[in-house]
Amino acid sequence: MQADNEATYLPRRLKVGLRAPELGIAADCHTYEVGADGLFVEGAPILRRGGKVELTFTDSNGDSLTVDCVVDAHAGSNLFLRYRDLDQVRRQRLEQIIWPPWDGADLLDGLMLMAGRYNARTLRDLMCLTTLLEVIRPRLSSAGRHQHSWS
């Protein structure tokens, strides 16, 4: 796998609450690419470069995390936001929300999650990950961590 690169952004669509306290503006937006140093959001109000915003993420349990960001670039309602003063605890919590654990049920889901986590870029990287997931998949799905029921 390639070394971590803060200039790498991976596709990840998450609903986030955006608030610009200095302007009294709030909006629901969606991320469309996420990286180690910032993320892209769509559906945001038009904000000036350098403006401070708060992004609120909500995990699958309904718990929220607010992250301070600064507007680094904008194109209409699309913004690139850089994280501001993101301490290690918040960074780890954010990573848990962005990259949820894989339950082993679907190989493609696992591949997409792990490719993002480990910065897989080449076909060789993806094939190695696929092989690894094939090996650990039976253990994960037989552990019954998440039972799906179709009603």
Which residue shows structure tokens 């309904």? Answer: 62
User: What is the tens place of the pLDDT at every residue in 12-42?
Assistant: 888 999 999 999 999 999 998 888 889 999 9
Of the candidates 45, 53, 40, the one whose C-alpha atom is nearest the C-alpha of residue 13 is 40
Residue % of the chain over a pLDDT of 70: 85
Q: Which residues pair with 46 in a beta bridge?
A: none
Please give the structure tokens belonging to residue 10. Answer: 């991976």
- The verdict on residue 88 lying in a domain is yes
66 and 124 housed in the same domain: no
33 and 61 housed in the same domain: yes
37 and 93 housed in the same domain: yes
111 and 92 housed in the same domain: no
72 and 20 housed in the same domain: yes
94 and 29 housed in the same domain: yes
User: What is the tens place of the pLDDT at every residue in 113-145?
Assistant: 788 767 788 899 899 888 888 887 766 655 544
Q: Which residues pair with 80 in a beta bridge?
A: 40, 73
Provide the CATH number for the domain around residue 25: 2.40.10.220
DSSP H/E element including 105: none
40 and 66 housed in the same domain: yes
41 and 84 housed in the same domain: yes
- CA dist 133 and 126 (Å) reads 10
- Per-residue pLDDT band for 6 (boundaries 50, 70, 90) equals very low
pTM of whole model > 0.85?
no
Please give the structure tokens belonging to residue 117. Answer: 């986590």
Torsion of CA 81, 85, 90, 96, to 10 degrees: 30
44 and 111 housed in the same domain: no
- The verdict on residue 58 lying in a domain is yes
Average confidence (pLDDT) over 100-110? 82
71 and 120 housed in the same domain: no
63 and 32 housed in the same domain: yes
17 and 35 housed in the same domain: yes
Which residue shows structure tokens 């850089």? Answer: 82
Domain span at residue 62 reads 9-98
Average confidence (pLDDT) over 85-103? 85
